[in-house]
Structure 1
Amino acid sequence: MLFDLPDDDTLYTALIARDPAYDGFAFVGVKSTGVFCRLTCAARKPKRENSRFFSSIAACLEAGFRPCKRCTPLALSGEKDPTVTQLIDALDREPEKRWSEDDLLRLDYDPSTVRRAFKRQFGITFLEMARLRRLGKGMDVLASGVKIIDAQIEASYESGSGFRAAIARHIGVNPSQARTHQFLKADWLDTPIGSMLAVADNYALHLLEFCDRKALPTELTRLKNVTGSDIIMGRTPLIDRVEQEMNGYFSGQLFEFTTPLAQHGSLFTQKVWDVLRSIPIGDVQSYSAIASMMGQSSATRAVARANGANQISIIIPCHRVIGADGSLTGYGGGLWRKRWLIEHERRMSLRQ
């Protein structure tokens, strides 16, 4: 389970202070160098705009960052398993190598022992870590618009089918299928509280979610099934529009989104989403209050389910719904983000 991070300003302050309180629980990815570090790293500190914060090593690797050689974030504090240390060193020497269990056997390691050791220390296996490092690099290159074969080579995948299958697990389809299939396009949006994935066609936005949301793979599969469309990496004018509006929102200048939305849900679910969008910025409502607004006061649980089914974060502001007792309750993007968004909007409302 991911550690609930505080807001990015708090983490950046901790980074500058080299605060050990977050060691092992928070990491910073430096956009200008492509490395990720512990917050206690002694290296020169990045600028605020070049810093991305993560709650796990796996998230750093999947985002395409490589481990810093100075603070060695893969070498966690405490007693070090020599097997882990030796294999991390081997991975550092050959980060683009396509590792397999046969490679481990040739180095006289028992694959099951290695698997348990890495799972225990990092939450992922050694082979998963190696794949994430390669795939993250390939995803980053692919998102920049290069040809698939170039992204495959950059990620050190010898097999084109293997690379396409890996991308498909993250996005949903091999990009080359766009030539013969109807498709939606997906691209990354950077925000102060983490990267988001936007999926759109030329007419409407279908999905906007934080990239570390655990339900994202399921949501992408559901979207493909509902629309009958494949999803590839790429840009549409709608994604450009969303990015512009999101920048305005996070800068505190935009109070209402106008991007057309494709709302895939039942009539009841869509009515709930419409009510969510009617909640004034800076305000919050309970599930029961929303049910009452709809004239269905007994439908509190159904409202909660519809709220949780929202696939267009922030624009359909499910973060504005709290428990009847004032508690934040659940939020797929993490409660720390929900707190951040509510506080951000409270400050915005004071300036209206």
Structure 2
Amino acid sequence: MFFDLPDFDTLYAALLARDPGYDGFAFVGVRSTGVFCRLTCPARKPKKENSVFYSTVVEAMEAGFRPCKRCQPLSLFGARDNTLGILLASLENDPEKKWSEEDLVTAGLDPSTVRRTFKRQFGVTFLEMARLRRIGKGVNQLTTGGEVIDAQLEASFESGSGFRAAIVRHLGMNPSQARQHRFLKSHWIETPLGSMLAVADHQALHLLEFVDRPALPNELTRLRNLTSSEIIMDRTPVTDRLEVEMGDYFAGKSCRFATPLVEHGSIFTRGVWDALRAIPAGEVRSYSAVAAAIDRPRATRAVARANGANQIAILIPCHRAIGADGSLTGYGGGLWRKKWLIEHEKRMFSR
């Protein structure tokens, strides 16, 4: 069911030809330099005896190779670069800071590059993200009973009128109205497969998706409508718990998740999701097998639709459902991620 690498000579010929057909499916480790590259890397090609091929970036990194700075094999999958990591950490460590382009220049960064990188990865610029983070802290103060002036100071706004204008512009309501409104809190979680967006209240998780999933904007709109809520940037205890469990999962320590969930689906759909959770980690099932497990053997297509409607990736393991012929099909986060998750779980349970 997975991509089987061709023989060494075929791969080496593809490397010399810089064949784009293997992009994402094959990587070359260069023993003489200790780096691994895409086969399309423009750098000088290694000798045969110095070349070793891998089907995933994870295998190459586990073998001790580091990613090439020239062809950036991790960026093929939208993985965040070092600049993203530094700025996201800075934002988390000092969310009250009022960032400007001058701050980026002082940090030795090019503002236009940072702008493009964040826009491509998250759909907002870094300065917009920093501003949303500040507003989120202020709204959180309001919704927990704080006074407007306290919320203004929490959000690091010097001007009351500026804070009120920011709240109205962001939420479509004034601070007094916001105090009575329900809010869900969104937070980015970094993973080896790229950034994920978690949306939770103080009791449970509502959504967990990769931020580059094309359907994510529509999913957020649907979630707002279903819950009659607005979504702001902030953490909750649920987010903190999820982040720990996700860390253990990607470190290969555990496939168990105790984070409470809110499942926005019909009785049938939630039954499919229960069946997905019943698939042991490290194993897969066909959609028809899932349909049989819920005593609806003729509902294979409906099961596939319910699988695709899942908005809580990994915790509701829709990646464990495959085609009847063993093929990887239909994963909103990208088939390469589905393949990675299945192999990751197989490795965990093959030790």
TM-score by length of 2: 0.61
SS of residue matched to 2:207? strand
Superposed CA deviations along residues 270-297 of structure 1, whole A, max 9, x for unmatched, are 0000000110011100000011111111
User: 1:54, CA displacement in angstroms?
Assistant: 5.2
Corresponding residue of 2:45: none
Q: Is the 8 A contact 1:173 1:230 kept in 2?
A: no
Q: Which amino acid aligns with 1:311?
A: Q
Q: Is the 8 A contact 2:209 2:216 kept in 1?
A: yes
Q: Is the 8 A contact 2:28 2:38 kept in 1?
A: no
Q: Which amino acid aligns with 2:296?
A: Q
Change (3 A) 1:161 1:314: same
Measured in 2, the distance between the counterparts of 1:20 and 1:241 equals: 36
Larger Cα-atom Rg: 2
User: 1:337, CA displacement in angstroms?
Assistant: 0.5
Which residue, out of 137, 143, 151, partners 2:126? 137
User: 1:129, CA displacement in angstroms?
Assistant: 5.3
Q: Is the 8 A contact 2:277 2:317 kept in 1?
A: yes
Q: Is the 8 A contact 1:204 1:259 kept in 2?
A: yes
> Please, which runs of 5 or more residues in structure 1 have no aligned partner?
25-37, 46-50, 67-91, 97-127
Corresponding residue of 1:311: 311
Q: How does 1:183-194 map to 2 (within 5 A)?
A: 183-194=183-194
User: 1:330, CA displacement in angstroms?
Assistant: 1.5
Corresponding residue of 2:330: 330
Q: Is the 8 A contact 1:143 1:187 kept in 2?
A: no
Q: Which amino acid aligns with 1:346?
A: K
Measured in 2, the distance between the counterparts of 1:339 and 1:287 equals: 16
SS of residue matched to 2:186? strand
User: 1:258, CA displacement in angstroms?
Assistant: 1.0
Corresponding residue of 1:99: none
SS of residue matched to 1:282? coil
Change (3 A) 1:185 1:131: closer
Q: How does 1:198-213 map to 2 (within 5 A)?
A: 198-213=198-213
Q: Are residue 297 (structure 1) and residue 297 (structure 2) matched? A: yes
Corresponding residue of 2:112: 95
Q: Is the 8 A contact 1:175 1:233 kept in 2?
A: no
User: 1:173, CA displacement in angstroms?
Assistant: 7.5
SS of residue matched to 1:240? helix
- Calculate percent identity across the aligned residue pairs: 48
Superposed CA deviations along residues 7-43 of structure 1, whole A, max 9, x for unmatched, are 9x9699899637364569xxxxxxxxxxxxx95439x
> Please, which runs of 5 or more residues in structure 2 have no aligned partner?
1-20, 43-66, 88-108, 139-151
Q: How does 1:2-21 map to 2 (within 5 A)?
A: 6=24, 17=35, 19=37, 21=39
Change (3 A) 1:5 1:200: farther
Q: How does 1:256-271 map to 2 (within 5 A)?
A: 256-271=256-271
Q: Is the 8 A contact 1:20 1:40 kept in 2?
A: no
Corresponding residue of 1:341: 341
Q: Are residue 215 (structure 1) and residue 183 (structure 2) matched? A: no
Corresponding residue of 2:148: none
Measured in 1, the distance between the counterparts of 2:338 and 2:203 equals: 29
Corresponding residue of 2:247: 247
Change (3 A) 1:141 1:318: same
SS of residue matched to 1:195? strand
Q: Which amino acid aligns with 1:316?
A: I
SS of residue matched to 1:53? helix
User: 1:141, CA displacement in angstroms?
Assistant: 2.0
Measured in 2, the distance between the counterparts of 1:339 and 1:348 equals: 14
Corresponding residue of 1:101: none
SS of residue matched to 2:349? helix
Corresponding residue of 2:182: 182
Q: Is the 8 A contact 2:23 2:39 kept in 1?
A: no
Q: Which amino acid aligns with 2:119?
A: L
Superposition RMSD in Å: 4.7
Change (3 A) 1:327 1:321: same
Change (3 A) 1:5 1:282: farther
Q: Are residue 53 (structure 1) and residue 42 (structure 2) matched? A: no
Measured in 2, the distance between the counterparts of 1:195 and 1:344 equals: 18
Q: Is the 8 A contact 2:29 2:36 kept in 1?
A: no
TM-score by length of 1: 0.61
Q: Is the 8 A contact 1:173 1:232 kept in 2?
A: no
Measured in 2, the distance between the counterparts of 1:52 and 1:173 equals: 39
Q: Is the 8 A contact 1:291 1:303 kept in 2?
A: yes
Measured in 2, the distance between the counterparts of 1:11 and 1:196 equals: 28
Change (3 A) 1:313 1:13: farther
Q: Is the 8 A contact 1:208 1:313 kept in 2?
A: yes
